[in-house]
A and B are shown apart, each in its own frame.
Chain A
Amino acid sequence: MKALAARRHHRSAPVVLLLLALLVTGGLYAALVPSSAGAAEATARDIEYGSELFQANCATCHGMNAEGTQDAPSLIGVGAASVDFQVSTGRMPMEANGPQALAKPPQLTDEQVAALAAYVASLGYGPAIPTAEQVDPAEGDPANGMQLFRTNCAMCHNAVGAGGALSEGKFAPALWDSTPTVIYEAMVTGPQAMPVFNDANLTPEEKRDVISYILAQRDGSPGGIELGALGPVSEGMWAWIVGIGLLVACSVWIGAKSS
């Protein structure tokens, strides 16, 4: 201890201390940062392949290094979840300019999406693709999910996720065919007009509850054909078409029999 105390006024002490502090901070950051799952498993080869895919499919709008252009945002820090959501649902690469990117059959294979996600994740820290356990609807609580869904989601996506309109041609899509992973990614990245529901807003467990509620809607609902689950408008339309249609047909039949 004496030797250390004797040298504390050495002129190189501040430099050594500074280096030590940097080393500790860097080491702690490296140890404690929540590493994104995709990035952790991604090999250099994946990232290299993803980079090539990016140059071929995305760079025209998002820039050669994903730094963004005036037509499209920067993708540095959007994370693997965002890439997986946009590309696996076919929204990206975008087909045409419009109020919002439409879902369509995906243009890249699953491996290509994974590589692309790994590449974008390597550019900066962002939300990772959730694990299978994080999105397992069987582990969620649909009753809690129902309350969260009604408070946070139903005003755009409709009470059971049948979709709804937003302003100027934008819309909240129906959730009938969305996979649990895609739903989770949408909540955590907030694509297009959708707000971000980060982990402080909705905890990962609560997100799983919401997914559990959405998936429970697909089991069907008692009472017969759901008529699109769109509420009184479609019910009224069918009351006129089927109900009044059948009854007028019967009236004509009864009226015609006598004469």
Chain B
Amino acid sequence: MTTTIERGAAAGADYLDQRTGIGAAVKSFARKVFPDHWSFLLGEVALYSFVVLLISGVFLTLFFVPSMAEIHYEGPWAAMQGVEMSEAYASTLRLSFEVRGGLLMRQVHHWAALIFMASIVTHMMRVFFTGAFRKPRELNWLVGFVLMILGLAAGFSGYSLPDDVLSGNGLRITDGVVRAIPIIGSYLSYFIFGGEFPGQDLIPRLFTVHVLLVPALILALIVVHLLMVVIHKHTQYPGSGRTDQNVVGFPLFPVYVAKAGGFFFIVFGVIALMAATMQINPVWNYGPFDPSIVSAGAQPDWYMLFLEGSLRLMPGAGTEWVIGGYTLSLNVLIPAVVIPGILFSLLALYPFVEAFVTRDTGEHHVLDRPRNRPFRTAFGVAVLTAFFVLLVAGANDLIAAHFYMSLNDLTRIFRVLFFVAPVVAFILTKRICLSLQRKDRELVLHGHETGRIVRFAHGEYIEVHRPLDEHERWLRVAYEPEHPLEIAPPVDSRGVRRKGYRLDKVRQRMSQAFFEDRIEPVTPAELAAAHSHGAHDELEGGSHVASPRELEGSAPGGGRTIAEPADGSTPDARNR
């Protein structure tokens, strides 16, 4: 029995299908299977916070005036009465104090921007550490990387729009960085600001960049990013039954449509909750921009903080050279251009470096467990550590003031840490990965410790181990370890030098650095050997006569181990 509503919906769908042929697309798309894991939702957080940014941003453009014309403030905020300010700043104050819901929307927009960048970074970390950037997804990694850079551009241009003291300080630093570029720096600065800083043109220009150029690019690249996900199919975590040839999961409709739709409202809800209860960027505290003023604790939003930290750590003395009447400001150029350039290039090009080293041309749809790729995991943690040291150094004055420490000592400590901490993080992470792999081997070969100690009739004690079930074992043995490359000799059999040997040599060296230290997964033969040993004990358990040597396991500390029956339901023979 069909109701009127159902008939109406069917008629509407039919009308659309006859004119667009959308039925086939919906059908195939609705049946598309996606794997399930919470970390796959991090990218969705970025997408949804971008949608929130668009919605709240449209509201803000209705009231914001992107003009640097000077006016005198007349409004409800007592501490600004009659103060001279730009129209941009005055309209931000009007948005905050006079437009109904304006302050909430401003705060929604700003919190959503912070969450947008944070979720992009966490999503990138997930993709990096699980090796989801491997073939065929290298290009999508690059698209994602460009999206992150565009996110930075969107954040920075938006942060500067209210024309308050804090954002003006940020623009002044940008101006300094632009001027530090050799030869063209000063021309470029005049071009960007339309004359001497701060000029009259910047806010309108930034407004165009912020509301038109960058969002359009982000939107276009998001479409490309998602289309590529559909084309490549989604990666899946390793587990029983999951291979590079299949996708284990649920169909898009109804499971993921419901989940993803619901998740959008959760993301919007969390951002709205933060915006309604936590103050962000109170521009009325900083006052209208005036180039002569800097207040203590002047920092950019968190995603630009590493640049601030980089500048704060660079020693000023002796790093500004005057060559033939031209100033080369290495004290700005190195921290603001060279160091971020190196860190970001490493990030963008890593998939290609790894492909070069492994010479791997196969497609990968099953993710790596981070521990099974110790070099990659350690490298990622090292780069993150370098970023984190710069980020914390960007807040060195707040740390000094709130923990009663010396600002000068902190700066010196961070200078050392910037070079030492990534190395230490690399070594530690690699060791931890290798240890986890050893633990996996140990588990596969000997099973879980049960905590049950059994005493035999003749007085000997043994510890009972429970073997892993098939699912647990699959997770721990189903991966291919990479080995250092073997390369052909430099000369062929006739003693003629081989082309491309040098490149191969570089590749071999890198490959050794990547894969020299590794733990091989348990082979079926090793597993069989370990199991027969356990089964043997099991058979003879009742009237125990096995020689102690047979019971000797390789448990850590040289303890003796014995396997428990795989099926926990059978009564233990030894306990009769």
A residues sitting closer than 8 Å to B (CB atoms) are: 99, 142-143, 145-147, 150-151, 154-160, 162-169, 171-172, 213, 216-217, 221-227, 229-240, 242-244, 246-248, 250-252, 254-256, 258-259
B284-A155 in contact (CB<8A): no
B36-A255 in contact (CB<8A): yes
Assuming A165-B398, A232-B299, A254-B259, is B166 touching A216 (CB within 8 A)? Answer: no
Segment among B4-12, B75-83, B502-510 that sits at the interface with chain A: B75-83
What is the CB-to-nearest-CB distance from A233 to chain B, in angstroms, rounded to a whole number?
A: 5
Closest to B262 in A: A254
**B298 lies within 8 A of chain A by Cβ:** yes
B295-A154 in contact (CB<8A): yes
15 A-B residue pairings within 8 Å (CB atoms)? A150-B290, A151-B292, A158-B295, A158-B297, A159-B285, A159-B287, A224-B276, A225-B277, A227-B279, A231-B166, A237-B302, A248-B38, A248-B122, A254-B262, A258-B36
What is the CB-to-nearest-CB distance from A238 to chain B, in angstroms, rounded to a whole number?
A: 6
What is the CB-to-nearest-CB distance from A218 to chain B, in angstroms, rounded to a whole number?
A: 13
A254-B41 in contact (CB<8A): yes
Residues of A with C-beta under 8 A to B231: none
A259-B36 in contact (CB<8A): yes
Closest to A173 in B: B401
Residues of A with C-beta under 8 A to B479: none
**B61 lies within 8 A of chain A by Cβ:** no
Residues of A with C-beta under 8 A to B302: 232-233, 235-237, 239-240
| Cα distance A46–B401 in the bound complex, in angstroms | 39
| Cα distance A147–B81 in the bound complex, in angstroms | 11
Partner of B270, one of A147, A235, A247, A254: A247
The 6 closest A-B pairs by CB, nearest first: A236-B302, A164-B296, A255-B38, A223-B279, A239-B114, A154-B295
**B25 lies within 8 A of chain A by Cβ:** no
Closest to B296 in A: A164
Residues of B with C-beta under 8 A to A226: 279, 282
What is the CB-to-nearest-CB distance from B27 to chain A, in angstroms, rounded to a whole number?
A: 23
| Cα distance A238–B81 in the bound complex, in angstroms | 32
What is the CB-to-nearest-CB distance from B158 to chain A, in angstroms, rounded to a whole number?
A: 13
Closest to B113 in A: A239
Number of residues of chain B lying within 8 A (CB) of chain A: 76
A224-B122 in contact (CB<8A): no
Residues of A with C-beta under 8 A to B409: 169
| Cα distance A37–B290 in the bound complex, in angstroms | 39
B278-A231 in contact (CB<8A): no
A240-B293 in contact (CB<8A): no
**B397 lies within 8 A of chain A by Cβ:** yes
Could you mark each residue 254-295 of chain B with 1 if its beta carbon is under 8 Å from any beta carbon of chain A, else 0? 010001001100110011001111111110111100101111
Assuming A231-B166, A243-B115, A255-B38, is B274 touching A165 (CB within 8 A)? Answer: no
Given pairs A147-B287, A247-B267, 20 additional interface contacts (CB within 8 A)? A150-B165, A158-B297, A167-B406, A168-B407, A223-B107, A223-B279, A224-B107, A224-B275, A225-B278, A227-B278, A230-B398, A231-B166, A232-B299, A235-B110, A239-B302, A243-B118, A244-B115, A251-B263, A252-B38, A255-B40
Assuming A151-B292, A221-B285, is B407 touching A239 (CB within 8 A)? Answer: no
Closest to B249 in A: A258
Main secondary structure of the interface of A (DSSP, over half): helix
| Cα distance A168–B404 in the bound complex, in angstroms | 10
| Cα distance A46–B394 in the bound complex, in angstroms | 52
Residues of A with C-beta under 8 A to B110: 235
| Cα distance A171–B408 in the bound complex, in angstroms | 12
Assuming A142-B79, A169-B405, is B398 touching A150 (CB within 8 A)? Answer: no
Partner of A146, one of B79, B96, B97, B276: B79
Partner of A167, one of B115, B278, B408: B408
B37-A165 in contact (CB<8A): no
**B301 lies within 8 A of chain A by Cβ:** yes
Residues of B with C-beta under 8 A to A222: 96-97, 103, 279, 282
Assuming A155-B296, A159-B295, A232-B305, is B406 touching A216 (CB within 8 A)? Answer: no
Residues of B with C-beta under 8 A to A156: 296
Could you mark each residue 70-102 of chain B with 1 if its beta carbon is under 8 Å from any beta carbon of chain A, else 0? 000000001111110000000000001100000
Residue of A143, A166, A231, A240 ringed by the most chain B CB atoms within 10 A: A231
Which B28-47 residues sit within 8 Å CB-CB of chain A? 36-42, 45
| Cα distance A255–B303 in the bound complex, in angstroms | 28
A169-B301 in contact (CB<8A): no
B285-A232 in contact (CB<8A): no
What is the CB-to-nearest-CB distance from B264 to chain A, in angstroms, rounded to a whole number?
A: 11
B284-A221 in contact (CB<8A): yes
**B328 lies within 8 A of chain A by Cβ:** no
What is the CB-to-nearest-CB distance from B398 to chain A, in angstroms, rounded to a whole number?
A: 6
| Cα distance A150–B395 in the bound complex, in angstroms | 21
Partner of B115, one of A145, A232, A247, A255: A247
**B144 lies within 8 A of chain A by Cβ:** no
| Cα distance A71–B20 in the bound complex, in angstroms | 89
**B119 lies within 8 A of chain A by Cβ:** yes
What is the CB-to-nearest-CB distance from B475 to chain A, in angstroms, rounded to a whole number?
A: 14
**B300 lies within 8 A of chain A by Cβ:** yes
Closest to A236 in B: B302
Residues of B with C-beta under 8 A to A157: 296
A224-B279 in contact (CB<8A): yes
What is the CB-to-nearest-CB distance from B567 to chain A, in angstroms, rounded to a whole number?
A: 24
| Cα distance A168–B282 in the bound complex, in angstroms | 30
B400-A225 in contact (CB<8A): no
**B501 lies within 8 A of chain A by Cβ:** no
B36-A251 in contact (CB<8A): no
Residues of B with C-beta under 8 A to A171: 400-401, 404
Residues of A with C-beta under 8 A to B407: 165-169
A256-B274 in contact (CB<8A): no
Partner of A255, one of B37, B118, B166, B280: B37
Residues of A with C-beta under 8 A to B281: 232, 235
Residues of A with C-beta under 8 A to B298: 231
| Cα distance A24–B355 in the bound complex, in angstroms | 97
Residues of B with C-beta under 8 A to A142: 78-79
Closest to B397 in A: A165
B78-A216 in contact (CB<8A): yes
Could you mark each residue 210-226 of chain B with 1 if its beta carbon is under 8 Å from any beta carbon of chain A, else 0? 00000000000000000
Closest to A222 in B: B103
What is the CB-to-nearest-CB distance from A96 to chain B, in angstroms, rounded to a whole number?
A: 12
**B111 lies within 8 A of chain A by Cβ:** yes
Assuming A146-B287, A250-B270, is B299 touching A231 (CB within 8 A)? Answer: yes
